[in-house]
Amino acid sequence: MEQIRYITAKEAKFYKNKGGFLGLALGEAKYDRVTLLRAFPFSYVDSFVSVRDKEEKEIGIIRDINDFPEETIQLFKEEMDRRYFLPMIEKIHAITEEFGYSYWHVATNVGEKNFICRRDSSSFVPMKGKMILVVDVDGNRYEIS
């Protein structure tokens, strides 16, 4: 069984590379492009973050991003905000249905959006409290609270 490697602020230096992507220097190893994936994207947004190389192989886990310096935390948040962009639906203007799909026209916290959902349970995920996650046919996610 493989051991989990925890990445700490002491041993790791995260940076933005020339292309604007997140990079990592970890001991002798240098990864010019890494991605961050939350193990628990809705319940522990700052904890248990998987760091992966460009082949999606896990390098290690960050227990808590708040253990890192402020400038590194900012890099983490920029990377994860891009990956976990989640517009909040503020108003539903119209939903029409045709051939097993629903066509949505909504107002979100980032503007007007039109998207398409399948009419099955995979498009609507109940979350904690009264939150519902809506997933469109392209995999984009929207929040209804």
**pLDDT by 10s per residue, the chain, length 145:** 678 999 999 999 999 998 889 999 999 999 999 999 999 887 888 999 999 999 999 999 999 999 999 999 999 999 998 888 889 999 999 999 999 999 999 999 999 999 999 988 889 988 878 889 999 998 889 999 8
Q: Are 9 and 65 in contact (CB under 8 A)?
A: no
Q: What are phi and psi of 70, to 5 degrees?
A: -55, -40
So what's the pLDDT on residue 45? 87
> Is 125 found in the same domain as 93?
yes
What is the predicted pLDDT for the residue at 138? 86
Residue 109 lies in a domain: yes
Q: Are residues 45 and 69 in the same domain?
A: yes
Whole-angstrom distance, CA of residue 56 vs CA of residue 42: 21
User: Which domain-ending residue is among 83, 105, 124?
Assistant: 83
Residues 105 and 138 in one domain: yes
Q: Which domain holds residue 136?
A: 89-144
Residue 42 lies in a domain: yes
Q: Give yes or no for a contact between 76 and 49, defined as CB atoms under 8 angstroms apart.
A: yes
- 58 contacts 50 by C-beta, under 8 angstroms: yes
Q: How many domains does the chain have?
A: 2
